[in-house]
A and B are shown apart, each in its own frame.
Chain A
Amino acid sequence: MQCAGYPEDKLRSLADRLPCRETQVTTLLSLMGEPDQYSYPSIFIYGHRATGKSHVVFSVMKDLELPYTFVDCVECVSPALLFHRVLLAFFGPDAAASLPRCPSLSDFVRLYKQMSSKTPATQTRFIILDRAERTRDMDFSLLPALLRLQELVSDNVTVILLSQVVWEKFRPNTGCFEPLLFHFPDYNKADLVQILSRDHHPSYTPELYASYINILLGVFFSVCRDLRELRHLAALNFPKFCEPLEKGEAKESDIHKLWRNIEPHLQRAMQTVYLREVSSMQWKEQQMDEKETTTPRGLSAHAHIELPYYSKFLLIAAYLASFNPARTDRRFFLKSHGKIKKTNFLKKHEKTSNHLLGPKPFPLDRLLAIFYSVVDSRVAPTASIFSQIMSLVSLQLLTQIGHDDQLDAPKYKCAVSMDFILAISRTVNFDAVKYLYDFL
């Protein structure tokens, strides 16, 4: 990789710091051109998470010691922060300090002009915006302005936007200055192997680790391409992988044996990809204490929630209320309903089950009515019953629809899953399924 205007050695060091991204780096450099040359006003770099967008850009800027500022748009709760960062980076604190209380774009541009007229850019200045998609919901004119900033401030500045959302989603409806689009492709399998093999375990040979990575990818590649996640998984499962080696049951040479050892384990781990059930640290400890690893007792291992008796019934009632049509209540909850066939009150359009469509909101009194009919003993409508409903809401097991100030007829929705309800009703031995319209 060689590119005019930049010292060779730095480029070389860059090249091996950024594996599998040579082409991208070269393209980027050629886009930037030599430091004193103009670069395109705005460059939009997109690609999946963990394809090294920000990493590449950042390290290029850093190593080549170019004037740049790197801003993560999540941080910019207000554009003021963004302006502040930029001015600070380019013209020092006093410039940043001279920003008014809540600066408008025009203030920013004015200041920038002033400053840059004092100290014109000898090298291209770069403003790098990570998670650029956030700029859309800041201020309608911010993004278009940034895109043509070079023209607005008439200074050799280039705005680089990084995002994993495609440009089509950015373009405002009246159009704007089109940036230069530049895609960071996802790593293919070989790349992943190469990259992951880099952080191999000191006490084992790289070859072993590489083969381990190969096995890992063989299992996970179909479901997960995210480098970060794969890395996590690799770190997670490696101790298990080289368990036989420690025990002395196998040598590094017989990969097949190791594979047979790890394979079922990985298959199980498959069920928890992306879930981050256990932190790598905790996992290691688990490996320590229990040698034979059952499925990781992660977050989902204990989904059960202890609830007061009536809360359980309230929740069940809420579930029934939100998944049954209101008109079926009499059939379910009237003690002495005649034998009403389901067909009698099955309408044509109700073929799709409510469990697909999700919970419907229901008024408070319907909830209570159902509650009183399902709960076995006779309950007084005491204050604590109502407070329980509220606390269920605050625990996000129910959600309140509409405003909180609506006193006379608040509406709720049940926000828990079927199996959760079934588990609960089992504890109070109440057969919820019998009361569900979908399962008639």
Chain B
Amino acid sequence: MNETSSVSKGCFVFKSASRKRKRQGVDGYMGDGSDDNGKDRFRICQDLRETVQQHTEVLQDQLNKKVLDDLVQFIKKHELCNSSDVRRQGAREIPTAALMLGVNVPDHTMTFRSLCNLLQESVTPFVVSLHAKGCATVKFLIQRVLEQLMGRGMALDEEQDDETALHLNTQCSIGDLCQWYNSVKIRPHRILERSIKPEVKNNGLYWSLPIVVIFKDFEAFNLQALQDFILICSQYTQELPLIFIFGIATSPITIQHRLPHSVSSLLCIEVFHSLSCTQHLACVFDKLILTSKFPFKLSSRVIQVLIGIFLYHDFSVQSFVKGLQLSMLEHFNSQPLSVLCCKKQEALLRAKTLSQKNVERIRHLPSFMRYVETQEPQDQVLLLTSDEHVKEVCQKLLKNLHKYHKNYYPILQCLYSLTSLLPKCPMGKHIRELHVTCNEKNVWEMEEYHSAMQLLRILAKDELVAALRECAGILKSANTKKMQNVLKQVDEFVVRLEELDNLHTEDLPGDDVACSRKDIQRRTDLHYLQKSLLEKESRKTRKMSSFEILRNEVLQYIDELVREYLTPAELQPLSEVCYYSSSGVLRQRLNAAPRTSIQAALSHPFHYLQNEALKTNDGTVSSNAPDLCIIYKLHLECGRLINLYDWLEAFVTVSSATEDKEADSEEYNKPKNLKNACFIQAVSEMEFLGFVKSTKQKTDHVARLTWGGC
């Protein structure tokens, strides 16, 4: 039934899918009621979601911190300019911050939210954030501003509430805003009292609190309205300390492209760049995927799907996280054994109390089977017969799995830190690529890995030391026994490398290092590298400097580490418990293809109505398929314009292919007009689905709206 589910769900946009899950009651959740621990899975899943969500938000704030602080500084600076009345020539210039946000529009809202909060608590209560939607004309634009400012102000002291209400809907001009602002200045508002930090109060600056106007989506604004608004505001710069913030998705060029000189000369623009979304993703990836904090893992394929969607379709980190959460849901939904996918202790407890059904399930896990085969015969028997034993083993395995994760990530990072400094990064620019490769197959059997190792072998000493130091740094944070040992080892290597040169510098052949240096400098193409490597080999046979010996030793060690710890996750027994691997489903969910699904439905009705009669070999259409399907199949043969009459004829012949054998004439034409009716209806359905539309060019013809034979 997979196709059916895929097609039907494929039509949904992914967002609503996740929402629906949340809204559904707990019991209605987790598929088959036969299962006892649906609730638990749901709970685990929920708090996992929560934690992930929190993490991302925290992360977001950290990442935006810099640019936001810059903005605040900028505003404060201008605030001072305003308060101290040094009115330069350019006094009419309105300070404007152009905030570059990148094209990942979905992520902007979060940024703006945090920006607003930050401003309101640290700089000024008067923050207006405008959306292009509400501001078709300058009138509305001004109205929005006034509503947001005065509305807020008045909301606090009600006695003027109605008064302003009428104010707003009669005629609103910036002039009114001025009056209001002055009134606020004179008898400081309660908002001010609350929101202003004492020191600001003390130095009496707060009568010049700036009014910040944020244009969230600069590109979408109506030009005329925007220009007029700026012109108007520039009239009032003396009275109102206005500050603009343009949220720009594309590039700063748009400003001078969209504003004529007469307007742009009224602005005093500074550009601020927020973190690029790719960097952003990298951080999120580190914090959410490459960590043993979360028991839930993604298999390499799923990661590829998510990354692909990110890189190819939308640069939106939000939707990446959403995807992660969705896969979480899917995992906990589809995999009953995911009860075990939680913190170590908890998992062990659950493992003790596994239901008989689940034990069976465990037995059928491929990874578990693989494990079983490795055991001695009697153990195998035990494993296949006694549930208790299985539970024992399972606990042990779970422990191992957690250990594996604990060790995997540090080593991965070490390897990355080593390989990333190689030219043309043979193991991939980003750590995620390395992670994926490691997760898929044995790294050490890969071509790239070997070439990388080769390159490492000709690494100069200082570079090597630096790299090792870095690794040591990474390992410090990892707190398993094994890792500590590794750390010791690495440190020791470092020490030895250090003392190497102050021990016997003289017999260290300068030329060797020199030439290796040279290589490093003009390592350009791999081809050249191979050559150099080969001659190195040959030279090595001749003589080996102690450094080289040591270097090889180090690399040897690293290689061992890789072989030990970077084994692909699939091989780990019970990996299915934590790893979500059904990438196909995920792709269908996140990257829905409504057209294809509809077309699939129409061309292969069998998938929906599981009716043997409809089973056809491709190309042909069975006569007792639904009319719509027949019509569809027929129209695929036609060109851009379809003659309705021919179509009808074809339809009649096809659909009456079966019965007109035994049909004799007088009852044959009765269904005829019935057929016409069917035909008409089917065609209208086609039109409704957007495959055809009636055309002016030719009466009794319809135009095809899809192209090609698809």
Contact, chains A and B (beta carbon distance below 8 A): yes
Cβ–Cβ < 8 Å partners of B309 in chain A: 384
Whether A306 pairs with B93 at a CB distance below 8 angstroms is: no
Residue A251 is within 8 A (CB to CB) of chain B in the complex? no
Cβ–Cβ < 8 Å partners of A232 in chain B: 90, 265
Cβ–Cβ < 8 Å partners of A309 in chain B: 311-312
Cβ–Cβ < 8 Å partners of B249 in chain A: 395
Residue B601 is within 8 A (CB to CB) of chain A in the complex? no
CA distance A387 to B13 in the complex (A): 11
Produce 1/0 per residue, A69-81, CB < 8 A to B: 0001011011011
Whether B89 pairs with A199 at a CB distance below 8 angstroms is: yes
Cβ–Cβ < 8 Å partners of B594 in chain A: 383
Residue A261 is within 8 A (CB to CB) of chain B in the complex? no
Whether B103 pairs with A306 at a CB distance below 8 angstroms is: yes
Whether A74 pairs with B232 at a CB distance below 8 angstroms is: yes
Question: Which of A280, A303, A395 is in CB contact (< 8 Å) with B219?
Answer: A395
Residue A311 is within 8 A (CB to CB) of chain B in the complex? yes
Given contacts A306-B276, A384-B313, A408-B690, contact A84 B171 (CB under 8 A): yes
CA distance A396 to B254 in the complex (A): 9
Produce 1/0 per residue, B278-304, CB < 8 A to A: 100000000000000000000000000
Whether A75 pairs with B235 at a CB distance below 8 angstroms is: yes
Residue B356 is within 8 A (CB to CB) of chain A in the complex? no
Whether B256 pairs with A275 at a CB distance below 8 angstroms is: yes
Whether B595 pairs with A281 at a CB distance below 8 angstroms is: no
Which residue of chain A is the closest to B707 with respect to CB atoms? A365
Residue B185 is within 8 A (CB to CB) of chain A in the complex? no
Whether A391 pairs with B103 at a CB distance below 8 angstroms is: yes
Question: Which of B255, B265, B314, B690 is in CB contact (< 8 Å) with A384?
Answer: B314
A263-315, CB < 8 A from B: 274-282, 299-300, 302-311
Whether A308 pairs with B103 at a CB distance below 8 angstroms is: yes
Question: Which of A281, A302, A388, A409 is in CB contact (< 8 Å) with B313?
Answer: A388
Whether B596 pairs with A310 at a CB distance below 8 angstroms is: no
In the complex, identify which listed stretch (B134-142, B154-162, B186-194, B461-469) lies at the interface while the others stay far away.
B134-142
Residue A429 is within 8 A (CB to CB) of chain B in the complex? no
Whether A304 pairs with B251 at a CB distance below 8 angstroms is: yes
Whether A306 pairs with B102 at a CB distance below 8 angstroms is: yes
Which residue of chain A is the closest to B139 with respect to CB atoms? A77
Produce 1/0 per residue, A389-412, CB < 8 A to B: 001001111000000000111000
Whether A306 pairs with B315 at a CB distance below 8 angstroms is: yes
Whether A299 pairs with B271 at a CB distance below 8 angstroms is: yes
Which residue of chain B is the closest to A299 with respect to CB atoms? B252
Given contacts A72-B235, A78-B171, A310-B313, contact A282 B270 (CB under 8 A): yes
CA distance A80 to B171 in the complex (A): 8
Cβ–Cβ < 8 Å partners of B250 in chain A: 305, 395-397
Whether B255 pairs with A299 at a CB distance below 8 angstroms is: yes
Cβ–Cβ < 8 Å partners of A365 in chain B: 705-707
Whether A308 pairs with B269 at a CB distance below 8 angstroms is: no
Whether A308 pairs with B312 at a CB distance below 8 angstroms is: yes
Residue B305 is within 8 A (CB to CB) of chain A in the complex? no
Whether B268 pairs with A281 at a CB distance below 8 angstroms is: yes
B515 to chain A, nearest CB (A): 35
B225-276, CB < 8 A from A: 228, 231-232, 235, 249-256, 261-262, 264-265, 267-271, 276
CA distance A231 to B265 in the complex (A): 11
Question: Which of B96, B251, B255 is in CB contact (< 8 Å) with A302?
Answer: B251
Question: Which of A75, A101, A383, A387 is in CB contact (< 8 Å) with B170?
Answer: A101
Residue A382 is within 8 A (CB to CB) of chain B in the complex? yes
Whether A279 pairs with B313 at a CB distance below 8 angstroms is: no
Whether A408 pairs with B693 at a CB distance below 8 angstroms is: yes
CA distance A383 to B252 in the complex (A): 30
Whether A305 pairs with B251 at a CB distance below 8 angstroms is: yes
Produce 1/0 per residue, B36-69, CB < 8 A to A: 0000000000000000000000000000000000
Cβ–Cβ < 8 Å partners of A175 in chain B: none
Residue A385 is within 8 A (CB to CB) of chain B in the complex? yes
Residue A229 is within 8 A (CB to CB) of chain B in the complex? yes
Cβ–Cβ < 8 Å partners of B252 in chain A: 299-300, 302-303
Residue B173 is within 8 A (CB to CB) of chain A in the complex? yes
A382 to chain B, nearest CB (A): 4
Residue A7 is within 8 A (CB to CB) of chain B in the complex? no
Which residue of chain B is the closest to A365 with respect to CB atoms? B707
Residue B512 is within 8 A (CB to CB) of chain A in the complex? no
Which residue of chain B is the closest to A312 with respect to CB atoms? B312
Interface size class of A (residues with CB under 8 A): 35 or more
Cβ–Cβ < 8 Å partners of A302 in chain B: 100, 251-252, 271
Residue A380 is within 8 A (CB to CB) of chain B in the complex? yes
CA distance A394 to B105 in the complex (A): 10
Which residue of chain A is the closest to B100 with respect to CB atoms? A302
Whether A383 pairs with B591 at a CB distance below 8 angstroms is: yes
CA distance A299 to B272 in the complex (A): 11
Whether B268 pairs with A280 at a CB distance below 8 angstroms is: yes
Cβ–Cβ < 8 Å partners of A310 in chain B: 312-313
Residue B533 is within 8 A (CB to CB) of chain A in the complex? no
Q: Could you say which of A72, A281, A307 has the most chain B C-beta atoms within 10 Å of its C-beta?
A: A281
Whether B235 pairs with A305 at a CB distance below 8 angstroms is: no
CA distance A84 to B176 in the complex (A): 12
Residue A381 is within 8 A (CB to CB) of chain B in the complex? yes
A235 to chain B, nearest CB (A): 7
Cβ–Cβ < 8 Å partners of A384 in chain B: 309, 313-314, 591
Residue B174 is within 8 A (CB to CB) of chain A in the complex? yes
Which residue of chain A is the closest to B312 with respect to CB atoms? A309
Residue B544 is within 8 A (CB to CB) of chain A in the complex? no
Cβ–Cβ < 8 Å partners of A113 in chain B: none
Whether B593 pairs with A279 at a CB distance below 8 angstroms is: no
Question: Which of A49, A235, A307 is in CB contact (< 8 Å) with B89?
Answer: A235
B565-608, CB < 8 A from A: 591-596
Q: Could you say which of B98, B312, B591 has the most chain A C-beta atoms within 10 Å of its C-beta?
A: B312
Cβ–Cβ < 8 Å partners of A396 in chain B: 219-220, 250, 254
B691 to chain A, nearest CB (A): 11
Whether B228 pairs with A228 at a CB distance below 8 angstroms is: no
B345 to chain A, nearest CB (A): 41
Residue A418 is within 8 A (CB to CB) of chain B in the complex? no
Q: Could you say which of B13, B93, B313, B706 has the most chain A C-beta atoms within 10 Å of its C-beta?
A: B313
Question: Which of B173, B228, B592 is in CB contact (< 8 Å) with A382?
Answer: B592
CA distance A277 to B259 in the complex (A): 12
Cβ–Cβ < 8 Å partners of B138 in chain A: 77
Cβ–Cβ < 8 Å partners of A282 in chain B: 269-270
Given contacts A72-B232, A308-B103, contact A380 B593 (CB under 8 A): yes
Which residue of chain B is the closest to A408 with respect to CB atoms? B693
Residue A369 is within 8 A (CB to CB) of chain B in the complex? yes
Cβ–Cβ < 8 Å partners of B13 in chain A: 383
Whether B102 pairs with A228 at a CB distance below 8 angstroms is: no
CA distance A134 to B220 in the complex (A): 24
CA distance A407 to B690 in the complex (A): 9
CA distance A229 to B260 in the complex (A): 13
Residue B277 is within 8 A (CB to CB) of chain A in the complex? yes
A54 to chain B, nearest CB (A): 10
Whether A280 pairs with B170 at a CB distance below 8 angstroms is: no
Whether B314 pairs with A75 at a CB distance below 8 angstroms is: no
CA distance A307 to B312 in the complex (A): 9
Cβ–Cβ < 8 Å partners of B228 in chain A: 74
A56 to chain B, nearest CB (A): 17
A239 to chain B, nearest CB (A): 14
Given contacts A74-B231, A309-B312, contact A380 B89 (CB under 8 A): no
CA distance A98 to B250 in the complex (A): 49
Whether A306 pairs with B592 at a CB distance below 8 angstroms is: no
Question: Which of A199, A274, A303, A383 is in CB contact (< 8 Å) with B593?
Answer: A383
Residue B217 is within 8 A (CB to CB) of chain A in the complex? yes
- Considering the complex of A and B, which 6 residue pairs feature the smallest CB-CB distances, nearest first? A279-B268, A299-B252, A384-B313, A77-B139, A382-B593, A309-B312
What are some 12 contacts across the A-B interface (CB < 8 A)?
A75-B235, A101-B170, A199-B89, A276-B256, A276-B261, A279-B270, A281-B77, A299-B98, A302-B251, A302-B252, A305-B103, A381-B596
User: Given contacts A77-B137, A397-B250, could you give 10 more A-B pairs where the C-beta distance is less than 8 Å?
Assistant: A75-B232, A81-B171, A101-B170, A229-B265, A279-B96, A299-B271, A302-B271, A384-B314, A387-B314, A395-B249
